[in-house]
Amino acid sequence: MKTTTLALVPMLLACAAAAQTGQNVNHARTGAATQSADHPTYPTGVASRLIDGNRSGVWADNSANITASMAAPWWQVVLAGPRLVHEVVLYTRSDTDNASCRDLLVELKTGSTLLWSQTVCTGGAYPRRGVAVRLLMPPGGITCDTVRLSRPGVASGVISLGEVEVLQIAQITPVNWAVYGTAAHFPGGTNYGAANAIDGNTDCNMANNSCVLTSVNGAGGGDWWEVQLPRKRYNEVRVWPSNFQSLYTFYVRAFDGTTTVATHLVSNPTGPGPVVIPLTGSPAPQIDRVRLFRNSFQSPLAFAEVEVIHYSALDSAVTTFGIGCPGTAGTPVLRPLTPPAIAGNFDVEVRNVPATPGGVFLLTGFSRSTYGALPLPFDLGLIGAGGCLVHCSVELTQAATATAGVATSRLPIPNLSGLYGAEVHQQALVPDPGANAFGLTASNPLRVRVGGG
C-alpha cells in the first residue's frame, strides 16, 4: 500500500492520544500560587494566572502574571501535598520579550528544605517569545511540596510568564540517543566496525555483525571507541558485552566539547547484561561525546552496543526489536539519522544494499502484531525468501535508491503537538536477486516514538 505522509496524520494523532492517556499529571493545577507582590499598574496579573492551564502567554488572554518591580522578585506554587515531580515546564510570554526570565532560579522544596535547583537563562540571555523551557528532574523524579521561581540577583525587576506546569509523568522512558550519533574507533582494521555499537542491536552475538572489535589483537595498546552525540543532558551510559571476549577493565569518559565531564573506571565487569555507568549531577551534565578506552592494557575492546541514555517521556525514541536477513552485500541495516521530532524530518539510512538493482522499499506501519488478517511477523520463507521476516504493517511505502551501498529516506513530521507519543514501526525490504529464490531481503525493524527532539 502506498499513501502520502499527510494521510498518516489522523492515524498518528489517534495513536498519540492512546499513548498519552494517563501520562502527565500537572500538580500545579491543584496548588496555591503566590508572588512577592502584585504589580500596582497591572493588578490583574496575579500569581494564579500561571496555574490556570492557559499556555497562550498573551496578556489580553488573561494568561500572564507580573510581579511588582522590586529587588529579588519571586513566584511560587505550594502543591496540595508532597507530590512526585519529573519535570517543570515554564511557558514564556508570547506577546513581549522575556527579559523578566533572565537569571531565573527554579527551586523544588519540601517546606524550607531545598531538594533541587537550577538557574535558567543566565549570562544576559532570555528565551524567545512563546516557548516552553523544560527542566527535567534526575531519574526517578523528586518528591516535593513547593516549586519556587526567583531572581535573587536582581536589584529591581519583575517576573512575568505565561504558565508553569509541575509534571508527574506516569512512565519515564530511558531513551538511547547514541543511535543518532557517529561512531569511530582506533586502531580499526577489523570486520567489526565502530558503527555496529550504535545500531540498536544488543543481542551480543558476533555472528550477527552486531559487535565492535577495535583491533585484531590489541598488541599496540591504547585501543579506543567513541560516539559523537547531539549535545544534551544524559543520565547514564550502558555497555553491552559481546560473546567474543569479556569486557575486561576499561574506562568511560564523557565530554562536552573539549572539556572532560566525567571519567569512570570499570573493573572486570561480569554478567550477561549491560554495564551501567551513571552520569551523576543535578541537573544531569551536558555531553556531546562518549569514549571507551584502555590506557596501556594490550587487549582490544570488544562489545556489542553502547547506549547513552536520557530519561524522558517526552523525547523522541527509536529502538530495534529484531534482526534482518543476509543478502549478497551483507545483512541490510536500518538505522536512524535524526530523532523523530515534531516539526522535523525523521531521516533513516539503509546500509549493505547490493549495487544491483540498488534500491530499497521502506515500510512504515502502526502495528507489529497484525496486518489486516495477517499475523506478524510474517515469514517470507513461504514465498522463497527463507530466514526473512516482515515485522510491521504497511500504511506507507517509500522507495529509495542506494549510492555506494547506502540508501536514505525521509519522513516529514507535521508541527502538531498532538503527535507527542505517537508510535510507528519501520522496516526496509531490499531487492536482491542473488540472495534467495524470491530475490528479496529485509532489514532489522525499528520502533519509532514521536517526541519533542
The one-digit pLDDT tens for each residue of the chain (453 residues) are: 333 455 555 555 555 544 444 456 889 999 999 999 999 999 999 999 999 988 878 898 888 999 999 999 999 999 999 998 988 988 888 888 778 888 899 999 999 999 999 888 776 666 677 777 878 787 567 999 999 999 998 999 999 999 999 988 766 678 899 999 999 998 876 667 899 899 887 766 666 677 888 876 655 567 899 999 999 889 899 998 887 777 888 899 999 999 999 999 988 887 667 899 998 766 678 899 999 998 765 678 888 899 999 887 667 888 887 778 999 999 999 999 999 988 889 999 999 999 999 999 999 988 888 888 889 889 999 999 988 999 999 988 999 999 999 999 999 888 775 677 788 899 999 999 999 999 999 999 998 988 876
Q: How far is CA 76 from CA 97, 145, 300, 370, 380, in A?
A: 22, 11, 54, 50, 60
* pTM of the full structure: 0.59
- The pLDDT of residue 223 is 85
- Which pLDDT value is given to residue 139? 59
Q: Could you tell me the three cell numbers for 181?
A: 550519533
Amino acid at 27: H
**Separation of alpha carbons 290 and 306, rounded Å:** 9
Q: How far apart are CA 51 and CA 91, in angstroms?
A: 11
| C-alpha cell at position 15 | 495513536
3-state DSSP assignment of residue 380: helix
- Give the pLDDT of residue 20: 45
Whole-angstrom distance, CA of residue 386 vs CA of residue 38: 73
Q: 24-169 falls under which CATH superfamily? A: Galactose-binding domain-like (2.60.120.260)
- At 7 the pLDDT is 52
Q: E strands within 197-316?
A: 212-213, 224-233, 236-240, 250-256, 259-266, 275-278, 286-293, 302-303, 305-312
CA–CA–CA angle 43, 49, 53 (5° rounding) = 165
Among 448, 414, 417, CA closest to 132: 417
The CATH superfamily holding the domain 172-312 is Galactose-binding domain-like (2.60.120.260)
Q: How high is the pLDDT of residue 123?
A: 65
Please tell me if the domain spanning 24-169 has the same topology as the one spanning 172-312: yes
- CA angle 133/104/315 to nearest 5° reads 20
Q: Which CATH class is domain 1-22+313-453?
A: mainly beta
What are the boundaries of each domain within the chain? Answer: 1-22+313-453, 24-169, 172-312
C-alpha cell at 98: 522575556
Locate the DSSP E strands across 373-414: 374-375, 378-379, 389-390, 396-401, 407-412
Torsion of CA 262, 267, 268, 272, to 10 degrees: -40
At 92 the pLDDT is 86
Helices then strands, counting H and E runs in the chain, come out as 1, 33
The predicted pLDDT at position 135 comes to: 82
Which pLDDT does position 285 carry in this prediction? 81
